[in-house]
Chain A
Amino acid sequence: MRPLHPLRWIAGPMLMAILATWLLTVPLKVFGLQLPEPVWALAPLFAWAVIRPSILAPFAVLAMGLALDQLWGGAIGQWPVALLIAYGAIFAARPGLVGQSRPIMWAWYAFACALALGAAWLIGLMDAGGRPQVVGMVWQYLATLLAYPFADYLIERFEDADVRFR
C-alpha cells in the first residue's frame, strides 16, 4: 500500500479550513446578529496530531495561523503560537488518544480548543495591553466545538490510511 500523500491529508483540509474562515468574514448581520466566527483551523490541527506524526503538519499549522492573522487582522504570530501550543499538547498525548471512542475524542478536542483560545487570550493580553473579553471568547469556543465533526471525518478517513501507523 502506498504511503499517505501530504496533499490529501494536510494540504486539502488546510485549504478547506482557510476557505471556511474566509467565507465567514463576509460582512453580514441577520436580525442584528453577526455570523459566528469559529476557529476552523483547530479541526484539521486536531486530526493531524491524532492521525500520525508528521514533519509537515507543524508548518501547516503555522501557515494556517498566519492565514487567520491575515484574515482577521490580528497581531501577526498570535494564532500560529496559539495553534502550535494546542497541536503540541495533542501530539504529546497521541499514544493515549488513538483508538478512543468518539465522545472521548470530542472531549480531547474541547481541551485543545480551550488551550488554543487560552493561549490566544494571554497573547492578546500581553500584546495589546488590554484584556480581551471572556464572554466573547466563550462564544467563539462554543462555535469551535461544533466544528468537531470535520475533525472526526478526517480522523476516520486517514487514521488507517497509512499502514505504518496502524
Chain B
Amino acid sequence: MSFRDSRFGEVKVPLAWTAAVALIVAGVVALALLMTDRRETFQAEAYGPARQAADGVLAPVGEVLSAPIRWIGAGVNGVRGYFFAVSENRRLKRELAEARQWRNVAVAVQDVNERYRDLLKLRTDPPIPMVSARVVADSRGPFANTRLANAGSEAGVKVGNPVMSEEGLVGRVMGVTRDASRILLLTDTASRIPVMIDRTNARAILTGDGSGHPQLAYLRGRDPVKVGDRVLSSGDGAVFPRGLPVGTAVRGVDGTWRVALDSDRDAIDFVRILQFVDFSQLVNEAEMAASDRPPPPTEPPAPPSTGPGIPSRTAAGQPPPVKTPAVKAPAAKTPSTPPAKAATAPAKAATPPPKPAAAPAAKAPAQPAEPPQ
C-alpha cells in the first residue's frame, strides 16, 4: 500500500513549512559539524576519515586536471627560453661571476666554522630527511589557504611536518592520507609559526590572515625589526627546525610588520616535505642506548678538592686551565647526551680499563665535532 493510499495520505502540510523545518535540521547538522572540527590542533586523529577519503580522491584527480596546466607552463617556458636565450645567458654569466666570489667566501667561512665547532665540541643538528611532492590542488581564498600534495603516509609524511619550496618555508602538513597530504600554508588564518629576525635575534609569531603577507605578532624589544630584515624559523616550541628561510620583513599598509614570503617567488609546482617531528628525533637514540653509564659507587666519593681528575686550585696554587670552560660548553648546549658523557669521563679515570662495549663511548665526545650536514 502506497503512502497516498494510507490514512496519512490525506494529511496536507504546507511545503513552505516543511522546507523551513528541513532548513533548520540542515543548520543544526552544519553547526554540529563546525563545533566538532579541530583542524587547528594539528593532531593526526583530528583529521577525520571523511577528509582523508576526500583527499584520497582529490589528489589523483587533481593531478590529472593540473597536467594540461603543467604542459602549457612547460611549453611557455620553452618558448620564452628560445626567445630570451641571449639576455638570460648574460644574466647567468653575471650571476656566475658573483657566485664564484661567494664560493670563496663560503669555503673560508666553512673552514673557520669547522674549527670553532672542533674547539667548542659543538653538536650540530643532523640533516633531516625529506620527501619531494607535486602540488595538485591549491586553495587561496581569504578563509582557507591550503595545498594538496601527492605524497602521503606511504612516503613517510606525518602531520606537523614542515613544507618548503626551493625558495623558503611554505607551511606544514595538517592532514595525511596514504598517497596525499594537505598542507596548511603560512598565510592561512589558522597558521601560527614561531620565527626570529636574523639581524636582532628578536622573536615573533608569524600569524596568517588570508593575505599574501602574514603578520609578525608579539614582537618584543625596541626596534627589533627593520624593512628588509631576514626572517627565519626560530625553532621555539619544537614546531620547526631552527633557521629555515621564511621571508623578508615589510611594513604593511595598516602599519603592522609583515613578511614577504620567499616561497611566493616560486611557482606552485613542487614542494619538499621535511620529515621533522620534534627535536627528539635529532638525538641519536642508538648512541644514547650504547653509551656506557658510570658504575654504581662502591665507596663514598672523594671530596672534589682531592679528586685526581679535577685540577685543584689549592693544591696546584694556580688558576684552573683555560680550557676547562670550553669542555663544559657542549654540556650546556646539548642537554640530552653530553651530560651523561661528561659524567662518565672522571669515573673512567678511576676505574679499571673499560670493557669493549665502552670503547665507542670513550670516543663519543669526539663525534659531535664531525662536519655538519
Residues of B within 8 A of A55 (CB): 15, 18-19, 22
Q: Is the CB of A130 within 8 A of B16?
A: no
The residue on B at minimum CB distance from A77 is: B34
Q: How far is the CB of B262 from chain A (nearest CB, A)?
A: 15
CA distance A58 to B58 in the complex (A): 25
Q: Is the CB of B40 within 8 A of A127?
A: yes
A151 in the interface, Cβ–Cβ < 8 Å? Answer: no
For window 89-124 of A, CB contacts with B under 8 Å fall at 91, 120-121, 123-124
The residue on A at minimum CB distance from B174 is: A73
A6 in the interface, Cβ–Cβ < 8 Å? Answer: no
Select one of B58, B139, B174, B190 contacting A128, CB under 8 A.
B190
Q: Is the CB of A26 within 8 A of B139?
A: no
Kindly supply a per-residue 1/0 record for chain B positions 1-29, scoring 1 wherever the CB is within 8 Å of any chain A CB and 0 otherwise: 00000000000000110111011011101
Residues of A within 8 A of B32 (CB): 77
Among A61, A74, A127, max chain B CB count under 10 A is at A74
Residues of B within 8 A of A163 (CB): none
Kindly supply a per-residue 1/0 record for chain B positions 62-77, scoring 1 wherever the CB is within 8 Å of any chain A CB and 0 otherwise: 1001100100010000
B54 in the interface, Cβ–Cβ < 8 Å? Answer: yes
Residues of B within 8 A of A133 (CB): 142, 209-211
Interface of A is mostly: helix
Q: Is the CB of B209 within 8 A of A34?
A: no
The residue on B at minimum CB distance from A120 is: B143
The residue on B at minimum CB distance from A131 is: B209
CA distance A135 to B212 in the complex (A): 11
Q: How far is the CB of A57 from chain B (nearest CB, A)?
A: 7
Q: Is the CB of A59 within 8 A of B22?
A: yes
Q: How far is the CB of A55 from chain B (nearest CB, A)?
A: 4
A153 in the interface, Cβ–Cβ < 8 Å? Answer: no
Q: Is the CB of B138 within 8 A of A62?
A: no
Kindly supply a per-residue 1/0 record for chain B positions 39-68, scoring 1 wherever the CB is within 8 Å of any chain A CB and 0 otherwise: 110000000101100110010011001100
The residue on B at minimum CB distance from A125 is: B189
Select one of B25, B31, B54, B174 contacting A81, CB under 8 A.
B31
**Known contacts A53-B16, A55-B18, A136 near B35 by CB under 8 Å:** no
Measured as residues with beta carbon below 8 angstroms from the partner, the interface class of chain A is: 35 or more
**Known contacts A88-B27, A120-B143, A130 near B58 by CB under 8 Å:** no
CA distance A131 to B135 in the complex (A): 27
B37 in the interface, Cβ–Cβ < 8 Å? Answer: yes
Q: How far is the CB of B195 from chain A (nearest CB, A)?
A: 16
B208 in the interface, Cβ–Cβ < 8 Å? Answer: yes
B269 in the interface, Cβ–Cβ < 8 Å? Answer: yes
Q: Is the CB of B23 within 8 A of A84?
A: yes
Q: Is the CB of A121 within 8 A of B143?
A: yes
Residues of B within 8 A of A1 (CB): none
Select one of A53, A72, A124, A132 contacting B146, CB under 8 A.
A72
5 residue pairs of the A-B complex, CB under 8 angstroms, read A34-B140, A77-B32, A128-B188, A134-B142, A136-B210
Q: Which 3 A-B pairs have the closest CB atoms?
A: A77-B34, A73-B146, A74-B144
A54-B15, A70-B58, A88-B27 are known contacts; what are 14 more A-B pairs with Cβ within 8 Å? A22-B61, A34-B140, A62-B26, A65-B30, A73-B39, A74-B144, A75-B37, A76-B34, A76-B36, A121-B142, A128-B40, A130-B190, A132-B209, A136-B141
